[in-house]
Amino acid sequence: MQQLSVVILAAGKGKRMVSDLPKVLHSVGGKPLLARVLATASGLEAAVRVVVYGHGGDQVKTVLAGEPEVLWVEQAEQLGTGHAIAQALPLLDDTGVTLVLYGDVPLTRLETLQPLVDQARQGKLALLTVALADPSGYGRIVRNEQGQVRRIVEEKDATPAERGLCEVNTGILAAATTKLRGWVAELGNDNAQGEYYLTDVVAMAVRDGVLVEPFTATEAAEVQGVNDRRQLAELERFYQARQVGALLDHGATLLDPARVDVRGQVTTGKDVVIDVNVIFEGVVQLGDRVKVGAFCVLKDAVIGDDVEIFSHSRIEGATVGAGSQLGPFARLRPGSQLAAGVHIGNFVETKKTSIGPGSKVNHLTYLGDAEIGAGVNVGAGTITCNYDGANKHKTIVDDGAFIGSNSALVAPVRIGKGATVGAGSAVGRDVPDGGLCLTRAPRKDVSNWQRPVKPKS
């Protein structure tokens, strides 16, 4: 099969974003526009991905440095889409086909693009068009009486009759690389904008007897570019509707699909229920019958079956065992690993901490760099003092231990199996298995205590 090269045009300034950030680094669904387009190219199994960059190129390259094997080409001056492609062509070999995408059109689906690539492999020039109620600003598709595409005319060069055409050019096209190379070499800039228009290749294809195969996108949002913050916000909503639609199709209950945002990937088991104003980021996995309360944020988390997360909890980089209960107002930070049946209550924070089956940490607690065994009860207000100002140290609490309220576990420290720590203790040395540790200061009683009084002025 002829190999596919994808050229992504991204040299535009994006002035209307009113931003210090290059336009293609603005995000939809938590991912930069250009990263989405690169992912689409990978999905099409492109052998080569070329980004034509201009404004803010260094920043763009830095942000997308993790993308494997992207070729970067600078277009120092933005002389038009044809000129942009010309910068990329020297990097492409002649045996394959080339698909042109825009770095600021993030939501085109593979299903929409694959037929264009297929037709280009058949030797045609494939073109993606869309019908718009308001076509202003776009290049218009000019067809003959038989409905065949003859050329594209840019709005500024169009006659009033041509401006009345509602089928517009999305800018996405595919053709054999050799043919594209020949046509692009011929482009001139004798037009209203003095630019090299890539769109002129369509008339050249017709002239050369190459079949032009138009495809029409059914959803305008799929081919919508981002020029300003309004369009960015519109695409975000479109994208979110698509994401929550998929969750509903997989059998999740969303109490209000308009108030759940997916900025990553979520997979759901059976009969999951998600309340309003929940945000998912990164990769999140929800088991069967998981309930997520209102105003929760879940990022990079694996949540077991039958877990209930009460409102206002933030779960990040955590694994939660089956049947556990979290929140309200729980905060699990990266490296939190909860076994089955764990209870984490309100205002409890965990970090790099594992908690064994059935253990309870119900109120006002911080556990950092800790290993908590099974069946442990951690009383309200317990804190692991894991940081000495320079280094982090570990706290180990063995199975069945009971930590009284308001205790400070000064790491490194180990609380033995079945051991008890009395309320209000500051524990700086290990407690043996089955032992009691009590560091509470001895009580002093004074009867008829006279409180200080203010001096009379």
Minimum CB separation of residue 239 from ligand UD1 in Å reads 18
Tokens of 39: 């992912």
Query: Residue 194 contacts by C-beta under 8 Å, 6 or more apart in sequence?
Result: none
| For ligand UD1, the closer CB: 168 or 361 | 168
Minimum CB separation of residue 232 from ligand UD1 in Å reads 14
Cβ proximity of 327 and 345 under 8 Å:
yes
Phi, psi of 231 (to 5 degrees): -65, -35
Write down the catalytic residue from 55, 312, 363, 393. Answer: 363
| For ligand UD1, the closer CB: 58 or 445 | 58
Minimum CB separation of residue 290 from ligand UD1 in Å reads 40
| For ligand UD1, the closer CB: 104 or 316 | 104
Phi, psi of 214 (to 5 degrees): -85, 140
Minimum CB separation of residue 8 from ligand UD1 in Å reads 8
User: Which residues of the chain form contacts with ligand UD1 (CB under 6 A)?
Assistant: 9-12, 52, 75, 78-81, 83-84, 102-104, 138-139, 152, 154, 168-171, 197-199, 225
CA neighbor of 116 nearest in space, from 204, 214, 41, 202: 214
Using CA atoms, how far apart are residues 61 and 274, in angstroms rounded to an integer? 37
Is 363 known to be catalytic?
A: yes
Minimum CB separation of residue 136 from ligand UD1 in Å reads 10
Minimum CB separation of residue 85 from ligand UD1 in Å reads 9
| For ligand UD1, the closer CB: 52 or 272 | 52
Minimum CB separation of residue 177 from ligand UD1 in Å reads 18
| For ligand UD1, the closer CB: 10 or 411 | 10
Minimum CB separation of residue 319 from ligand UD1 in Å reads 41
Q: Sign of dihedral through CA atoms 70, 76, 77, 83? A: negative
Q: Are strands 314-320 and 27-28 parallel, antiparallel or unpaired?
A: unpaired
- Bridge partners of residue 298, in order along the sequence: 280, 315
Q: Exposure string (b/e) for 34-55, b if CB count within 10 Å is 16 or more?
A: bbbbbebbeebebebbbbbbbb
Find tokens 């065994």 and name the residue.
373
Query: Residue 178 contacts by C-beta under 8 Å, 6 or more apart in sequence?
Result: 94
| For ligand UD1, the closer CB: 198 or 262 | 198
Q: Is the bond into 412 cis (omega within 30 degrees of 0)?
A: yes
Sheet strands (E) in 321-452: 325-326, 330-332, 336-338, 343-355, 360-372, 377-378, 383-385, 395-397, 402-403, 408-410, 413-415, 420-421, 426-427, 436-437
Minimum CB separation of residue 77 from ligand UD1 in Å reads 8
Q: At what angle do helices 33-43 and 110-121 cross, to 10 degrees?
A: 50
| For ligand UD1, the closer CB: 85 or 296 | 85
- 3-state class (DSSP) for residue 72: strand
| For ligand UD1, the closer CB: 86 or 431 | 86
Using CA atoms, how far apart are residues 393 and 13, in angstroms rounded to an integer? 49
Sheet strands (E) in 208-342: 212-216, 253-254, 260-268, 273-274, 278-286, 291-292, 297-303, 308-309, 314-320, 325-326, 330-332, 336-338
Tokens of 369: 């760099």
Query: In the complex, which residue's CB is closest to ligand UD1?
Result: 139
Query: Residue 247 contacts by C-beta under 8 Å, 6 or more apart in sequence?
Result: 254, 260, 262, 266, 268, 274
Identity (one letter) of the amino acid at 60?
V
| For ligand UD1, the closer CB: 170 or 177 | 170
Active site residues: 363
